[in-house]
Every structure is written in C-alpha cells, then in structure tokens.
Amino acid sequence: MLGKKIRKVALFLISVIMIIIAVLFAIFTSVPFIWAILSSFKTPEEIVRIPISFIPKTFTINNYIRLLMETNFIRAFLISLFISIATTIGVVITSLITAYALSKTEFRFRDIFIRYIIYLLALPQYLMLLPQFYIIVKLGWINNYAAIIIPAIVSPYSIFLLRQYMLTIPDDFIDAARVDGAGEMYIVFKIVFPLVKPAIIIISLWTFISSWGSFLWPLIVLNDPSLYPLATYMNTLQSAYGDYRYTGVVMAGTVLSFLPMIIITLVGFKYIVRGITLTALRR
C-alpha cells in the first residue's frame, strides 16, 4: 500500500523534474535574445549601471533611432535581404532542374553525378575556400555581389533533398505529360513543381536562413565594409560602438537582425523542423 503511494509520488516527481529541465534549457536558449531585446531599450546610463538591471527602468527607443539614422544598418539589412532573396530564387530554380534531371531522366553520368553530390556534402568548406577566392579575384568580382550570389546558387543539399522528393512522384504523371507533348522544361515547372511544393518551401527557408547568416565568405570577398551584408556587418557595428555605453545601439542592431529570423521560424516552423530532421536522417 505504502509502496504504491511512494511509487506514484516518485513517478510524478520525475515528470515534474523532466519538465523543469526542459523548460530551463528553453530559457537558456532564449535568454540571450531576451537580454538583447531588453538592452536595446536601455539608456546608456542604465546599461553601465552596477548592479546590472535586467528590465529597463527607463524605456527608450533612442538606440533604434541612432541605429537607423547614424549607421549603415539599414543598408546592410537591405543588402542581406536582396542577397538572400536572390540566392533563394536561384537555388530553387537550379535545384528544380538539376534534381529533375537526376531523378526523372536517364543519362550516362547520372549516377556518378549523384555520388559526387553526396560526397560533396561531406567536404569541409575550407578545402575549397582559397581557390574559390582566387577565382572571384580573377573574375573581377571582388566587391561585387555576384561573388556572393552566383556561387551560392547551386546548393548540393537542396538538389539532394529535392531529388529524394521527386523520386516519390510516380513516373506515370510525367510520362502522361510527355505523351501529351509537353517539353521537359514545361514538365519541370508546371507539373513537378506543384507536386514538390513542401520540399521547395523547405529548401527556400533553409537557403534564406543560411544566406542571411553567412559570415566568412562576404568577409573575404568584399573589401569595402560599406557593402557588407548583415552578419558580416555585425562586426563593423560591434567595433564602431566599442564603448560599452553604446551597447544599446549594438543590441538594437542584433534585435533587428534576428527578428526576421524569429518570424520566419514561427511561420515556417513545420518546414524548418522537417528540413532539419531530413538532413540527418537521410544518412
């Protein structure tokens, strides 16, 4: 009798502890963002106050005003937007046609190609970094956004993912279209595309997010700091406002940088989750 009661209580306690741990970790992951948001509304005086305050006592939007007026933030933001959107569109198009060719057509080098893509996914970025830079130099693309967008337009991961999706489309659909006289281009964009929409969304989100966060490549390929996209610009911002009193401005910058990402995650949560789980489970 008592044993049963003890067991019940113990099980209950364990569940409670589990929930607490999980919640604690969620707090752990979100605290930096909360701190950034809160700090972005603090006055310079308050930021340097000791003992530190978490919640701003005086609420100010000065930091944002300064950020938007005095710095190149907006420009960096728009640059990132432009690059990310362009890259995403490019990736969707190239992935569509490449994945289609690799899944629904037959040609001699198909299997080699597929194998190559898979191996590519495992290669470290650094192996190819320096010559890639050299090529950009030779092409005269330094300080040109083409240097960022063009190499990013082909994404082996997206091609692979899309191909997996396309393999699940019965060939009958496509053969019927061929019989009806449709050209392969037409088939890709008017027939296959609507059928793989979930995968397209996953790829788009993934490409956008990764493009938004790309740091090293723009750092290398752009000499003029005024051309930096957002992630790389963070470095400029951080050093420009090195004095801790102006951390509020820097934090305003970070908040405006991660806010779009949070919104994207909220809206596309299902797809992002799918994208992540497909990455690892495919192996």
Partner 1 sequence: MRVNVIKPNFSYKPYRWYIPYLFIIPALIYFLIFTLYPIFFTIYISFTKWNLISNPIFIGVENYIKIFSDPVFLTSLRNSLILAFILQPIITFTGFLLALLLNRLLLWFRNILLFLFILPFIVPMAVSAVIWGRGFYDPIYGFLNALLRTMGLEGIAWLGDPNIALFSISLVNFWAWVGYHSLIYLAGLQSIPQELIEAAIVDGAGSIRIVIEIIIPLLKPVFTAAIILATIGGLQIFTEVYMLTRGGPGYSTYTLGYAVYYKAFTEYDYGMAAAEALVLSLIVFILALIEMKVLGGVR
The answer to the question of residue 3 lying near partner 1 (CB under 8 A) is no
Per-residue mark of binding to partner 1, 6-45 (x: CB under 8 A): ---------x--xx-xxx-xxxxxx-xx-xx--x------
Query: Which residue among 2, 55, 69, 266 contacts partner 1 (CB under 8 A)?
Result: 266
Please report whether residue 87 would count as binding partner 1 according to CB under 8 A. Answer: no
Under the criterion CB under 8 A, does residue 167 sit at the interface with partner 1? Answer: no
Interacting positions 119-148 with partner 1 (CB under 8 A): 120, 122-135, 137
Between 131 and 194, whose beta carbon lies closer to partner 1?
131
Which stretch in 57-65, 141-149, 190-198, 264-272 sits in contact with partner 1 by CB under 8 A?
264-272
Q: Is 252 exposed, middle or buried (0-12, 13-18, 19+ CB in 10 A)?
A: buried
Footprint of partner 1 on 207-236 (CB under 8 A): 209, 212-216, 219-220, 230-232, 234-235
Among the listed residues 81, 153, 201, 240, the single contact to partner 1 using CB under 8 A:
153
Which of 23/65 has CB closer to partner 1?
23
CA distance 81 to 87: 10
Q: What are phi and psi of 207, to 5 degrees?
A: -65, -45
d(CA 104, CA 94) in angstroms, rounded, equals: 15
Count residues contacting partner 1 (CB under 8 A)? 99
What x/- string results for residues 181 through 210 when contact with partner 1 is judged by CB under 8 A?
Answer: --xx---x--------------------x-
The stretch among 62-70, 141-149, 192-200, 248-256 that binds partner 1 (CB under 8 A) is: 248-256
Which segment (2-10, 65-73, 117-125, 162-170) binds partner 1 by CB under 8 A? Answer: 117-125
Restricted to residues 52-81, the positions that interact with partner 1 (CB under 8 A) are: 52
